[in-house]
Structure 1
């Protein structure tokens, strides 16, 4: 039989605070009511839970067992109440976000600044990493990740899709010439991500607008596991790189990079906001995801 849960919660509060008086103050009910509810609980389950003296309150053996089993119920209800208060009070508090190193670009920082202006009671902790972090173990609220997400224990919300193209520094093109067709890429130095590997070797998928992607062979001079590592080599004139257009925009405008084979397009890179499946999104998480989806740079959402 299920007993009155309120009586159990009153009992847990008494044990935690160490007295009927303190529990009465915390629960904002008369001390006599606290005493009566604990007594009725003991009568209902047929055992004494507390030893009462004029100086001390202590648990019986049965009371200790009952308390250990019931305190998690009280904790769950407290968490639920805090979640409801968050909904009522709006987004606030620390928001822990992980992003790829390659997001250290001029268009992303203003987005975060705009988010902070829109939600001044949210404080951001940004963790940059070139490898996916354990969202639960590292207490990450949101992870921004590019590309496919093989981990089915996570929930992904697509924010944008970034087009990609081929780029090079003017210094590299001055030394090695500019390729005129994708087939010529095989004879150039290329800066390539590890995942470009296929059975036939390393390839870049490319297409003309309106056409289908086709794999073109490349011979990497530098391999890396993060686009940011390739970016420095690209600026140094070490080769050609297939990269997100949005990440290259500032360098192109400054004359540090040139778009090569501009009529050829690489595969789009999806940006996802990822959260752990076991947690319901909090108001602050929903605020960040909604803001990023609404204010991503034009043409990529």
Structure 2
């Protein structure tokens, strides 16, 4: 409520309490402050609202009319505030989200199912194409992105950081041998995203950059994961992307002491002023991805 509406609400409380002292006690405000606020309200509207005596207050004729109008306005404002609180507690509407295809399918899907169960009033409209949607001109509430954050004109909220590790299938390692050190990767089929010519690996103390090559260069993590499970080479991806393959034994770690540079995950929005459905979705993902 703005100051004028607050003063209207104070006036209503004074009339209901039949005096300043009881109203001041009820709302937790000093009696003198409350009296000054009502006097200032009378000056603002140019009307005498109350006859004050040492024992009681009485409404003037104008005060009676003003009280009835104020009470209706204040009651409506309080009802609207309560309804807004209910909307924030149980957000609703259509949540339009742009998602990275492979990460959404392999990792986010069960989290989205959990979120949908928590907020049955929300419907979902997902865009899982590889393109970068335009949040300014297209009707998306949020885009989930991996890697570097986008335009500085957009709002990027960090959700998590995933660290890539090396994996290969038992069949591939049996055929090609298992690398004992990062430099050995030069002799292997390495499944790269977007024709990466090198992999930079860390073991906590050392950092090495290894030239890598292979017959396949793709822009799909899902396809690279599938090729690795079919004995076609070594891949460098976050564990979260290959959880199912690791659990089934289709893939296993390679050079487990080494890892790639962390990959950041962001929630990208056009503005900081977000509807409740979008706020809850971003908060939920941040909490779950941080586990």
Q: Under a length normalisation based on structure 1, what TM-score does the superposition of the two structures give? A: 0.65
Tell me the equivalent position of 1:257: 251
Q: Under a length normalisation based on structure 2, what TM-score does the superposition of the two structures give? A: 0.67
1:86-125 alignment runs, 5 A limit: 89-90=87-88, 91-125=91-125
User: Number of residues paired by the alignment?
Assistant: 210
Q: 1:283 aligns with which of 276, 283, 291?
A: 276
Structure 2 segments unaligned to the other structure (5+ residues): 1-79
Residue 227 of structure 1 deviates from its aligned partner by 1.6
Instruction: Output the CA distance in 1 between the equivalents of 2:194 and 2:101.
Output: 16
For 1:214-243, what per-residue CA distance to the aligned partner results, in whole angstroms no more than 9, with x for missing partners?
311111321112322312221222111111
Tell me the equivalent position of 1:10: none
> Measured at CA, do residues 160 and 188 of structure 1 come closer, stay the same or move farther in structure 2, by a change above 3 Å?
same
Residue 273 of structure 1 pairs with residue 267 of structure 2:
yes
Residue 154 of structure 1 pairs with residue 154 of structure 2:
yes
For 1:263-287, what per-residue CA distance to the aligned partner results, in whole angstroms no more than 9, with x for missing partners?
111111111111114x721111101
Q: Is the 8 A contact 2:195 2:217 kept in 1?
A: no
Residue 101 of structure 1 deviates from its aligned partner by 1.3
Instruction: Output the CA distance in 1 between the equivalents of 2:121 and 2:195.
Output: 40
Instruction: Output the CA distance in 1 between the equivalents of 2:220 and 2:279.
Output: 28
RMSD: 2.3
Q: Is the 8 A contact 1:95 1:125 kept in 2?
A: yes
> Measured at CA, do residues 87 and 160 of structure 1 come closer, stay the same or move farther in structure 2, by a change above 3 Å?
same
Tell me the equivalent position of 2:224: 230
Question: Is the partner of 2:232 in helix, strand or coil?
Answer: coil
Instruction: Output the CA distance in 2 between the equivalents of 1:213 and 1:154.
Output: 33
Instruction: Output the CA distance in 1 between the equivalents of 2:114 and 2:106.
Output: 13
> Measured at CA, do residues 150 and 135 of structure 1 come closer, stay the same or move farther in structure 2, by a change above 3 Å?
closer
Question: Is the partner of 2:164 in helix, strand or coil?
Answer: strand
Instruction: Give the strand-richer structure, 1 or 2.
Output: 1
Whose Rg is larger?
2
Q: Is the 8 A contact 2:195 2:218 kept in 1?
A: no
Residue 141 of structure 1 deviates from its aligned partner by 0.9
Residue 85 of structure 1 deviates from its aligned partner by 7.1
